[in-house]
Structure 1
Amino acid sequence: MPELPEVETIRRTLAEHVINLEIKEVRLIWSSAVCSWEDQSFEDLVTGRRIQTIDRRGKYLLIRLDEDLTLIAHMRMTGRLNYYTEKREPEKHTHVVFGLEQGEVHFSDVRKFGRIQAIPTSQCFSNSSLSKLGPEPLELEFTPHVLKERLRKKKISVKAALLDQHVLAGLGNIYVDESLFQAGISPERRVDTLSDEEISKLHQAIQNVLQAGIDAQGTSFRDYRDANGEKGSFERELQVYGRGGEPCKLCGQVLERIRLAGRTTVYCSRCQK
């Protein structure tokens, strides 16, 4: 699933091509891929609008159109938004084609979990999934104190807490495992046992790992590509994720692979306490 670094990379690469362009045509190949506003047709609502900016909130992409309309795109497991300079025949798993003044944007999704929702911009943060998201981990306002407050009173594993988008927006399995490794904290630790020093280390690790992921343009194992169809390279820097049974790069201990919070979790029992 695209996480914060992947969605941020899609945002940046898509914005390079489509800002200030008008959407001339919308072709729905699989209509369930979109959610319109009230009883209006998605095609009629979106066609003729101009793309003003592209923002991100957690794992959501916000394509701001003129006249108070935003498209909220969630990639889920295998969603992609690809830009093409010329008209292109839709591939097998392409569900929506946005024809622009210059080129096209194709929304594709092998597993069909991703969605694009049209909603008035003025209601984005009150009448959508965005309203319940936790803070952005790379904003200046996200401090160790904020993280402590978000975790306060919880009696679940730190892995489960960090996967909860209501606690913190944008983290998924990859970047949680990597952040916990860098902070030296076992994913099985209950959050109410973390000291202030450990929370401070975790806060710094989260920011370090996410920024490194963005700098590497995301992690590509299978489906993820940016808007240009390019892969990210952060998988080369992974310390624990996907490496269960292999030696720890720091101490040589065989990395543990367990099931935690419904997700496969990899960690070093020697380096992470």
Structure 2
Amino acid sequence: MPELPEVEAVRTGLEQLILGKEISQVHVFWPRIIESPEVELFKVNLIGEKVGAINRRGKFLIFELSHYEMVSHLRMEGKYEFHQQEDEVAKHTHVMFDFTDGTQLRYLDVRKFGRMTLLPKGLASEYSGILKLGPEPVPETFFLKAFSAGLKRSSKAIKPLLLDQKLVTGLGNIYVDEALYEARIHPEQPAGTLLRKEVEALYQAIIDVLGRAVEAGGTTIRTYKNALGEAGKFQVSLNVYGQTGVPCPRCGTGIIKTKVAQRGTHYCPTCQKLRQRKMRD
């Protein structure tokens, strides 16, 4: 699943490709991709719209158009490709946006889980999925005090708590594992039992891991590529995710894989020990 760094790489790629272009026609081959409005209205409303900007909130892309905002969630396997209109259409292409200059933006999705929603201008921030999101993982919006208070209130294991996007947005399976490793925290440690020094280490690790992953263009594990057709490069920096049996870079213990909240989870059993439950300092 594309996580925040991958979606940011898609956003910056699309900025280079389609800013200023005017939509002349829209083709929808799998109607369930369009969440709202109904498909024919979606197609008609987009005709004549120009792409003014492409923003991101968490894992959502927001296409800023002349009169509308289109919210796009890639989910598991969604991706955008830029083509000439006469190019052969690949399998799993579900939505195509024709531009007046003869180019075309295509949305492909093997799983068909992705969704698009067209909203009047200025209303993307009120979209239900976006309203639930916590702050972006940067110091300007993500504050240690609020993060610490949110952890203290929860008895959930730290990994699923971070995955739910409410305390901080953008963390998926890969980057939660990496941040917890960097902070030396077991993925099943109850959030409310974290020590102050662990909270501070985790806060810094989240900012650091996601920041470095954005700079690297994300992580390519299987099929992910950005809108320019480029693979991410952060996979070469992964310490635990996908490293089952590989010696821990810190202590040499073999990385193990287990399941936490039904998600494949990688950690070092030596550096990330599960403590007995006790009150935080």
Whether TM-score is above 0.5 comes out as yes
Matches of 1:167 and 1:87, distance apart in 2: 45
Matches of 2:228 and 2:127, distance apart in 1: 31
Match of 1:168 in 2: 168
1:269 aligns with 2:269: yes
TM-score by length of 1: 0.95
Q: Is the 8 A contact 2:62 2:124 kept in 1?
A: no
Match of 1:81 in 2: 80
Aligned-CA RMSD value: 1.5
Letter in 2 for 1:146: A
Superposed, 1:221-240 pairs within 5 Å as 221-240=221-240
1:269 deviation in Å?
Answer: 1.3
Give the stretch that moved more between structures: 78-87 or 42-51.
78-87
1:36 deviation in Å?
Answer: 2.8
Gaps of 5+ in 2: 274-281
Q: Is the 8 A contact 1:183 1:205 kept in 2?
A: yes
1:139 deviation in Å?
Answer: 4.8
**What is the total number of aligned residue pairs between the two structures?**
272
Q: Spell out, residue by residue over 1:170-221, the C-alpha distance to the aligned partner (whole angstroms, 9 max, x if none).
A: 1100000000011111111111111222111111111111111111111111
Match of 1:18 in 2: 18
Give the stretch that moved more between structures: 231-240 or 246-255.
246-255
Match of 2:184 in 1: 184
Match of 2:126 in 1: 126
Q: Spell out, residue by residue over 1:48-71, the C-alpha distance to the aligned partner (whole angstroms, 9 max, x if none).
A: 10111100000100011112x111
Matches of 1:247 and 1:87, distance apart in 2: 50
Letter in 2 for 1:201: A
1:152 deviation in Å?
Answer: 3.0
Gaps of 5+ in 1: none
Match of 2:100 in 1: 101
Superposed, 1:149-160 pairs within 5 Å as 149-160=149-160
Letter in 2 for 1:66: S
Q: Is the 8 A contact 1:87 1:104 kept in 2?
A: no
1:37 deviation in Å?
Answer: 2.7
Match of 2:276 in 1: none
Letter in 1 for 2:160: A
TM-score by length of 2: 0.92
Give the 3 Å change call, closer, same or farther, for CA 162–59 of structure 1 in structure 2: same
1:25 deviation in Å?
Answer: 1.2
Matches of 1:266 and 1:8, distance apart in 2: 24
Match of 2:259 in 1: 259
Q: Is the 8 A contact 2:135 2:167 kept in 1?
A: yes
SS in 2 for 1:116: strand
Q: Percent identity?
A: 40
Q: Is the 8 A contact 2:240 2:267 kept in 1?
A: yes
Give the 3 Å change call, closer, same or farther, for CA 46–36 of structure 1 in structure 2: farther
SS in 2 for 1:32: helix
Give the 3 Å change call, closer, same or farther, for CA 132–221 of structure 1 in structure 2: same
SS in 2 for 1:206: helix
Matches of 2:271 and 2:192, distance apart in 1: 20
Q: Spell out, residue by residue over 1:79-118, the C-alpha distance to the aligned partner (whole angstroms, 9 max, x if none).
A: 0011225542221101001111342111000011011111
Matches of 2:232 and 2:84, distance apart in 1: 21
Give the stretch that moved more between structures: 201-210 or 25-34.
25-34
1:249 aligns with 2:249: yes
